[in-house]
Amino acid sequence: MLDKFITPIIKPLLTPVVMLMHKRGITADQLTVIGFLVGLLAVPLLAFEMWYGALVAIALNRILDGLDGALARYANQSSSAGGFLDITLDFLFYAAIPLGFILANPEQNAIAGSLLLATFIGTGSSFLAFAIAAEKFKLEKPQFKYKSFYYLNGLTEGTETIALFIAFCIWPQHFAIMASIFAIACGITIFTRIHGGYHTLKQQEAAENMPSMCKFRGNK
C-alpha cells in the first residue's frame, strides 16, 4: 500500500551510491545475491535472540535490495533474469524472518509464525500469478514502471512487511500478536488481489474477443 509513495522518495537518495558502485564494476545481480546472504544472517541471530544484530542484517538486506534495481537501471542492465533472481530471493528472505522467530521461541511463536508464513504464500502467489497473465496481455505498470514485471497492489506490500520485521526485532515479546494481526491484513490483500486480478483479466479477455465476435457477426 505504501510502496508507491515511499519508492519515489528513496530512489534519488540511492543515486550517488549507485554511481560509485557502477564505477567499481559491481553488477546488480551481485548485489542481489550479497543482499540475500546478508539477510539470511538474521535467521541464526533471531534464533539466538540477538534481536538488534538481526535488525542490522534485515536493514542491510533491504538497502542492498533497493540498490540492485537502481544499479541495473543506471547501468542499463535491467533484465528478466535479474528480475526473476531478485523477486525469488526476496520471497525466500521474507519467509526466513518468521522462521527465525519460530526457532527463537517455538512454544510461543510457532502458531502465529506458521499463520504468517501461510499468508505470505498467498500474497506472493497471487501477485506473481497475476504478473504472468499481465505479461501475456501487455498490461501497463503505471505505478511501478521501473519494475521487471507487473506489481499488483495490496494492503500489505514491501514497505509494510519491512516495518513489521523491524517491529518484531524491537518488541520480540509481542511477535505472536503482531504476526497474527499482519496475517489478517495479508488475508485481506489476498482477497483483494484475487478479486481484482480475476475481474481485470476477465475484462482483458473480453476485450480481446470482441473484435473476433464483431467480425463473426459481420460475416453472418
**How far is Cα 209 from Cα 93, in angstroms, rounded to an integer?**
41
- DSSP conformation class of 146: T
**Of 127, 128, 139, 121, which is closest to residue 192 (Cα–Cα)?**
127
| Residue entry with cell 525466500 | 92
How is residue 34 written as a grid cell?
A: 550479497
Residues 162, 141 contacting (CB under 8 angstroms): no
Residues 45, 100 contacting (CB under 8 angstroms): yes
90: annotated active-site residue: yes
The rounded Cα 51 to chain-centroid distance in angstroms is 23
Query: Among 65, 68, 86, 90, which one carries the catalytic annotation?
Result: 90
**How far is Cα 39 from Cα 24, in angstroms, rounded to an integer?**
23
| Catalytic residue IDs | 90
